[in-house]
Amino acid sequence: MRKSFSQLAWLIGAVGVVLGLVNMLTPSASVGNTFYFIAATQLAICVVIGFFAHRPDPRTWMVILGVALFTVAGQTLADTSLPDETLRIVSESFFLVVQILLASALLLVTLRRNGTAILNSLGDALVVALGAWLLIWIGLLQPSLNIAGEPAVISALRGITLATSTIVLFLLVSLLFSEANRTPSIWLLFGAISLSLLGDFLFALDKSGHASVSDRFLNAPYVISLFLASATFLHPSVRSLTHRSTTRQRQPLLGRLVLTTTALVVPLITIALFDPRNQVDRVIRAISLFVLAASVTARVIQAVRTNARTQAVLVKTAQTDALTLLPNRSLMLKHIEEAVDNAWRTGRVPAVHFIDVDRFKNINDSLGHSAGDDVLVAVAQRLTNAVPLSAIVGRISGDEFVVLEPDSVSDIEAMKTAERILECFREPLALRQGDVFVSASIGVACSPATDSPSPEELLRHADAAMYRAKDAGRNCIALFDASMLERATQRLTLETALYRALERQELTLVYQPIIDLQLGDVLGFEALMRWEREDGSTSSPAQFIPIAEETGIIVPIGAWALIEALTHLRNWIDAGICPETASMSVNVSPRQLHDPQFVSVVSEALSRTRVQPQQLWLEMTESIMITEPEQALAALRRLNTLGVRIAIDDFGTGYSSLSLLQSFPIQRLKIDRSFISGIADDVSARSLVKTILAMSDALGLDTVAEGVETARQLEALIDLHCAKAQGYLISHPVAPEQMRNTVISLEKFSQWPKYSD
Ligand code: C2E
Ligand code: MG
Ligand code: MG
């Protein structure tokens, strides 16, 4: 429907143009009159159709009515010789009223569409209108004042009308120059009014006696104008004519410049070429020129000011953190640079505190991002209140804040401030969601007077110290020393190398058998990752898994491990190395579990290796039940539905509660090595394991004891009726090629004196 109206509008516009051209080519006056009649009639019809089809608001009506009356009036004047003086006065006055009506309607539309943003285009439009006014005065108005025998009232009326038409022109230009988007209706409207204005000027030119314009040329612009007015009203975009418009991306700067310059230059040339005719002419020219010059100056001043203001806003936005309104990284670096530069003169030791909110990701994930934002705003407030007045607080990224103390005099003083910062988090933050406790890890770096580091270096030092504070268990302070940089560099090298490890095939899996303590049979294996680098150095999972988790590389690495481990299990089963029912345990980190693709990765790996889901155990630590429990729960349920089982690894070292254990879909507990190591000699360790076993039994869970290293530990576990175990005593983790021999050597456990009764 909209499309049909749009096509109809353009069609009518085109018909108007064709009729106008035909009119210009035909000398017969009756053809012109017929065309005009058709144009006026179709306008009336289109106005009615457009109103019912688009139901535009009253302001749009006013514009259309203005355009229509304006055009009709213009035509009436142009067409009739009107011998009667009173009639001419009436018609001139009517024309003036119509102009005023049109000007007010245009003003309303322009203001509605642009709001205060219109101010920018008003200046340019004023210059154009004044230029046009000067031309009108010199070319039309001034000469027409001298028409012999014309009553003064009519001359005056015509003068005012022409002056008003410059206002219409002014508004029209400002509508076009404005920053609001130009819709087809705006263009059509612009065409209709400009053609009508053109008709008026041709008429005035003819009247002034400067040139004789034939009737067909006087009529044609009005015919086209009436058709364009109809098209304006028929086009669906007429509905948004008076709506606040979206700002155009590309400002038509060049077009504006050309038009305003022309409006300035052409009148000046005209003034230079044609001498004033009398004193009144001279005065009017002088005043007009003065106003034109004043508006150009005002426009230039306004443009320069707007530009400066925009610049200032841009600079401020570029240097301010939008959430907390604190200085951002780039501004903080500037402040640090200034402080370091001044330090040698004042004998100060500027200190930079790098503050990282502990476990901020948990807050974001568990309470939602808006709560996360609230925490950041509250932290910013706390920090600002906690530090000395001369200190500057900034937020440099995510949950990282920086406090610069430009006037600190020593490490000791800086550490005192750091303590105050740490202290300010003791009280919970009152959020809309309730009270939240946060802590922070703080790294402090001071700029020694002897050698002033660059601001980036100083920030990096504080960052390295902050990492040390994190490693030391979070919620504490660390003061920078050079050894920390080494560690940070090492970490960075490790991170970069880890990215390539997978494609360079530097990662391998080794397998540790898990045996049945009653029968001594191999029940399954746990896959453990190893990383041997190009240069022959090896890193333990304890070193690289946390980095892989932080950087997210654990997701592809974990997917690879899953396929690799299941492929080996399939091969061993096929080769008769282990029983058909043997299981594979694969360690999974929380990050993997929260990956939306994880469940499909698991099911894909199972189907590719033709391993039954019941043969796969996924080992996770208790932490998954604490951070983002809902998300974890959903993923675990889906894994369970597949048939895959879940084991809680290192059980006893986390903080999981009994209720969590009960509510999570888990099937196995792996008792942490730390409990097993004391089991043979330490009564309390033994009773702890006994309790865990009883609890696990009560919950209907399977249990595996980890890290069995001695025969006495093994005996104690058998005494406590622990069903399964793994550990160095049974077998170290071995490479897949050694599995056949390893499994054979494990047969000794079935002959173990204790079980072979
Ligand atoms: P985990 O899953 O609890 O694995 C058991 C760890 O204890 C392994 O260390 C294993 O070599 C070691 N171990 C086994 N028996 C004994 C024993 O009798 N005495 C002692 N002292 N240690 C024993 P590893 O291979 O260094 O792995 C450390 C941790 O790294 C694993 O703990 C697991 O949390 C993680 N990890 C290893 N491979 C992967 C993996 O592929 N993915 C993920 N996400 N984590 C992995
Ligand atoms: Mg494990
Ligand atoms: Mg473990």
From the alpha carbon of 708, which atom of ligand 1 is closest? 18
Task: Give the residue whose CA is nearest to atom 12 of ligand 1.
Answer: 707
b/e 166-197 (16+ beta carbons within 10 angstroms → b):
bbbbbbbbbbbbbbbebbbbbbbbbbbbbbbb
Instruction: Determine the Cα angle at 557 with ends 551 and 560, to 5°.
Output: 165
pLDDT reading at 510 higher than 90: yes
Calpha distance 166→131 (Å, rounded): 9
Decide the pairing of beta strands 351-357 and 400-405: antiparallel
Closest CA to 688 of 652, 643, 721, 712: 652
Give the separation between CA 753 and CA 757, rounded to whole angstroms: 7
- CB atoms under 10 Å from CB of 472, counted, come to 12
Distance from the alpha carbon of residue 584 to the mean position of ligand 1, in angstroms? 14
For residue 748, report the distance from its CA to the centre of ligand 3, in Å.
25
Residue 254, exposed/middle/buried by CB under 10 A (0-12, 13-18, 19+)? exposed
- Residue range 610-620: mean pLDDT, rounded: 97
pLDDT of residue 739: 97
Type and span of the H or E element at 532: strand 522-532
Query: What is the pLDDT, as a whole number, of residue 672?
Result: 93
Report which residue type is found at 604: E
Whole-number pLDDT of residue 266: 87
Distance (angstroms) between ligand 2 centre and the Cα of 672 equals 10
Q: Name the nearest CA neighbour of 361 among 398, 329, 326, 388.
A: 398
Please report the pLDDT score of residue 756 as a whole number. Answer: 38
Given pLDDT bands bounded at 50, 70 and 90, which one contains residue 503?
A: confident
Question: Of the bound ligands, which one is closest to the alpha carbon of residue 541?
Answer: 1
When pLDDT is averaged across residues 728-753 and rounded to a whole number, the result is: 89
Average pLDDT of the chain, as a whole number: 86
Ligand with an atom nearest the CA of residue 544 = 1
Which residue matches tokens 């841009």? Answer: 314
Residue 465 and residue 481: Cα distance in Å, rounded?
A: 8
Q: Would you tell me how many other CB atoms lie within 10 Å of the CB of residue 500?
A: 11
Q: Lowest mean pLDDT: which of 6-15, 382-391, 534-543?
A: 534-543
More reliable by pLDDT, 627 or 130: 130
In this prediction, residue 752 carries a pLDDT of 62
735 C-alpha to center of ligand 1: Å? 14
CA 461/CA 449 separation, integer angstroms: 16
Ligand 3 centre to CA of 592 (Å) is 17
Task: Considering only residues 85 and 633, tell me which one the structure prediction assigns the higher pLDDT.
Answer: 633
Q: Which atom of ligand 1 is closest in space to residue 528's alpha carbon?
A: 38
User: What's the 528 CA to ligand 1 centre distance in angstroms?
Assistant: 6
Q: Which amino acid is at 85?
A: E
Q: What distance lies between CA 218 and its chain's CA centroid?
A: 56
Query: Can you tell me the distance from the alpha carbon of 111 to that of 579, in angstroms, rounded to the nearest whole number?
Result: 84
Would you say residue 656 has pLDDT above 70?
A: no
Instruction: Quickly state the pLDDT bin for 534 (edges 50, 70, 90).
Output: confident
The confidence score (pLDDT) of residue 29 equals: 76
Query: Closest by alpha carbon to 514, among 718, 707, 755?
Result: 707
| Nearest ligand, CA 647 | 2
Work out the average pLDDT over 122-151.
74
User: CA distances (Å), 185 to each of 57, 234, 243, 354, in order?
Assistant: 14, 9, 12, 57
Q: Which atom of ligand 1 is nearest to the CA of 733?
A: 11
What is residue 757's predicted lDDT score, i.e. its pLDDT?
Answer: 40
User: What angle, rounded to 10 degrees, do the helices at 29-54 and 215-234 form?
Assistant: 10
528, 531, 712: residue to mutate for ligand 1 pocket, most atoms within 8 A of CB: 528
The answer to whether the Cα torsion of 40, 43, 48, 49 is positive or negative is positive
Ligand 3 centroid, distance to 671 Cα (angstroms): 8
Q: Is the pLDDT of residue 565 over 50?
A: yes
Ligand 1, atom 21, residue with closest C-alpha? 707
Kindly give the residue spans of alpha helices, DSSP state H, lying in 320-424. 329-346, 360-367, 369-386, 411-423
Mean pLDDT computed over 509-532: 95
Non-local (6+) Cβ contacts of 199 within 8 A are: 71, 74, 75, 78, 218, 221, 222, 225
Of the two residues 748 and 678, the one the predictor is more confident about is: 678
> Angle, to 10 degrees, between the axis of helix 29-54 and the axis of helix 2-25?
170
Sole residue written with tokens 């476990």: 359
Per-residue pLDDT, 116: 59
Q: Give the closest ligand to the alpha carbon of residue 565.
A: 1
Q: How far is the CA of 752 from the centre of ligand 1 (A)?
A: 26
pLDDT tens-place string over residues 17-63: 999 999 888 887 788 888 888 888 888 888 888 888 888 777 777 77
Which helix (H) or strand (E) segment holds residue 523: the answer is strand 522-532
> What is the distance between the alpha carbons of residues 748 and 464, in angstroms, rounded to a whole number?
51
Tokens of 671: 């008792």
- Higher per-residue pLDDT: 444 or 93: 444
* Top mean-pLDDT range of 82-91, 127-136, 163-172, 308-317: 308-317
Q: Write the burial class of residue 641 (CB in 10 Å: 0-12 exposed, 13-18 middle, 19+ buried).
A: exposed
Which residue's alpha carbon is at the smallest distance from atom 23 of ligand 1? 707
Closest ligand 1 atom to 670 CA = 3
Ligand 1 binding residues, C-beta < 6 A: 512, 528-529, 540-542, 545, 558, 561, 587-589, 619, 649-650, 673, 706-709, 727-728, 733
Q: Tell me what pLDDT residue 180 has.
A: 66
Beta bridge partners of 510: 528
**Cα of 569 vs its chain's centroid, Å:** 46
Distance from C-alpha of 97 to C-alpha of 369, rounded to nearest angstrom: 60
* CA 30 from centroid of its chain's CA atoms: 64
Between CA 72 and CA 638 the distance in angstroms is 75
Ligand 3 being an ion, which residues bring their Cβ within 5 A of it?
Answer: 649-650, 706
In this structure, are residues 62 and 101 in contact, taking their beta carbons and an 8 Å threshold? yes
> Ligand 2 centroid vs 608 CA: distance in angstroms?
23
Q: How many CB atoms lie within 10 A of CB 211?
A: 9
* C-alpha of residue 391 to centroid of ligand 3, in Å: 46
Question: Measuring from atom 8 of ligand 1, which residue has the nearest CA?
Answer: 528
- The alpha carbons of the chain give a radius of gyration, in whole angstroms, of 43
Please give the average per-residue pLDDT across 697-721, as a whole number. 95
Strand, coil or helix: 606: helix
120, 102 contact by CB (below 8 A): no
Least-confidence region, from 128-132, 191-195, 377-381, 501-505: 128-132
Token pair 């007045």 is at which residue? 389
Copy the structure tokens of residue 367. Answer: 């309470």
Counting every residue, how long is the chain?
Answer: 757
- Whether 747 has a pLDDT exceeding 90, the answer reads no
Nearest CA to ligand 1 atom 16: 707
Q: Give the mean model confidence (pLDDT) for residues 675-698.
A: 93
Residue 25, SS3?
Answer: helix
The percent helix, strand, coil of the chain (3-state, each to 5) is: 65, 10, 25
Q: Which has more pLDDT, 152 or 440?
A: 440
pLDDT at residue 444 in the model: 96
Round to whole Å and give the CA distance between 689 and 652.
Answer: 10
Choose one of 532, 587, 621 to mutate for the ligand 1 pocket test, by most ligand atoms within 8 angstroms of C-beta.
Answer: 587
d(CA 34, CA 23): 10
Question: Do the bridges between strand 440-446 and strand 538-539 make them parallel or antiparallel, or are there none, so unpaired?
Answer: unpaired
Give the DSSP H/E element, type plus range, for residue 440: strand 440-446
pLDDT at 155 over 90: no
The token duo for 364 is 């974001």
Burial 365-375 (b: 16+ CB within 10 A, else e): bbbeeebbebb
Which is the closest atom of ligand 1 to the Cα of 588? 44
- Nearest CA to 720 out of 677, 687, 695 is that of 687
pLDDT > 70 fraction of the chain, expressed in percent and rounded: 91
Residue 563 has pLDDT above 50, yes or no: yes
Q: Is residue 474 left, alpha or beta, with left meaning phi > 0 and alpha meaning psi from -120 to 50?
A: left
- Closest residue by Cα to atom 11, ligand 1, is 733
Which atom from ligand 1 is nearest to the alpha carbon of 512?
A: 14
SS3 661: helix
Give me the mean pLDDT over the 414-440 stretch: 90
Tell whether the model's pLDDT for residue 440 goes beyond 80.
yes
Weakest-pLDDT range from 54-58, 398-402, 619-623: 54-58
Judged by DSSP in three states, 427 sits in: coil
CA of 673 to the centre of ligand 2 (A): 11
* Residue-level pLDDT at 119: 63
